[in-house]
Amino acid sequence: MLYFEIKTHRPGITYVRPHFFILNKGQNSGRPMCIPCPNCFVITTKTEEDKTTLFYLTMILQQGQYFAYYLKGSVIPFITINDCKRTMLSLSNHNPENLKKTIKAIRLITQKEEALKQNIMKLKQLKQAFINASLKSKTWR
């Protein structure tokens, strides 16, 4: 079983133990983040391995729309800390072996996605440099 604590993040506080943040307001409630924002929870764990497992578990829950059931509020939807914790605990205790396989696959897919984003950014820079070089040459004038 994974051990974690979930609290409301207060700006200015630094955390010593391994941690990550979960957005708690808006349509993306439940989204895990490495950098805090004003409307988020902080998850602290004992080990870096637990942090990584919980981060990807939360990503699975958010992208699978599991947190959407618990959204409250009519103008700005939000998720409560208890609903977030209950949802994370229910999935973490469901089937540990299957969960490990799923998290491993999601982690690999996320790494590939980040690599593709980097490649796209480099291609955009290359395109911009090519356009700038073409416009500076005298053949266009």
Q: What is the DSSP string of 82-126?
A: HHHHHHHHHHHTT-HHHHHHHHHHHHHHHHHHHHHHHHHHHHHHH
Q: In this predicted structure, what is the pLDDT of residue 65? A: 86
The pLDDT, as a whole number, for residue 140 is 54
Q: Which pLDDT band holds residue 1 (cuts at 50, 70, 90)?
A: low
Q: How large a percentage of the chain has pLDDT more than 70?
A: 96
Q: 3-57: per-residue pLDDT in tens?
A: 788 888 888 888 888 999 998 888 888 899 988 888 889 999 888 888 888 898 8
SS3 state at 77: coil
The pLDDT value recorded for residue 128 is: 94
Percentage of the chain lying above the pLDDT 90 cut: 21
**pLDDT tens string 89-111:** 877 777 777 888 888 898 899 89
State the CB neighbour count (10 A cutoff) for residue 110. Answer: 13
How confident is the prediction for the chain on average, in pLDDT? 86
Each residue's pLDDT tens digit, 47-78: 888 888 889 888 888 888 888 888 888 888 89
